[in-house]
Homo-oligomer: A and B are copies of this chain.
Amino acid sequence: MRARDLAEPYVSVSKGADAIEAVRLIVEQRLPGLLVTDSAGQPYAALPACDVVRTLVPGYVQEDGGLARVIDERHADHLCRALRGRTVADCLSVGRLFLPTAASDWAAVELAELMARSRSPLIAVVEQSDEDPGRLLGVITAARLLERLLQAV
């Protein structure tokens, strides 16, 4: 079984998409994060849901966490407004998660080694050909890879 057999579709958004759209996808499907693609549809980054939360926290609270205690509930209702007019790319942290990428013919051990080393919950699988530098086939989650590896126990 190769990477192409394990790859599955995963909810993705373009990096230029509206940030509020990304939040709605995370909320509606209870996702731990999203796959972010570039304008050509290539895998670009993983966006963990906790990084979207960080985007909502006002800078003065990020600098002094104690201020979170003095913000009243009504103000909290306005936090999501910070996303208005912002894109998915604006939610990626500067040291955003490196998105590990595997070729379609990689074996399970190679995928496990990459996932262990990168500590990423997702691996993007791309099909490379002479015409195409890396068409996205899908994503392999840690749960999917464990399912493959558990079969032999």
Q: Mark A13-24, 1 if CB is under 8 A from B, else 0.
A: 000000010011
Interchain CB contact under 8 A, A121 and B152:
no
CB distance from A55 to the nearest CB of B (A): 8
A57 within 8 A of B: yes
Which of A20, A27, A52, A112 has the most CB atoms of chain B within a 10 A radius of its CB? Answer: A112
Interchain CB contact under 8 A, A69 and B32:
no
Interchain CB contact under 8 A, B49 and A107:
no
Per assembly, the copies of the chain total: 2
- Residues of chain A at interface, number, CB under 8 A: 60
A88 within 8 A of B: no
Could you tell me the dominant secondary structure of chain A's interface residues?
A: helix
Interchain CB contact under 8 A, B150 and A24:
yes
Residue in B49, B77, B116, B152 whose CB lies within 8 Å of A53: B116
> What chain B residues lie within 8 Å of A51 (beta carbons)?
119
Bound CA–CA A27/B24 (angstroms): 26
A83 within 8 A of B: yes
> What chain B residues lie within 8 Å of A141 (beta carbons)?
30, 32, 49
| Chain A residues with a Cβ under 8 A of chain B | 1, 20, 23-24, 26-27, 30-33, 48-54, 56-57, 61-62, 65, 68-69, 71, 73, 75-81, 83-84, 107-110, 112-117, 119-121, 141-147, 149-153
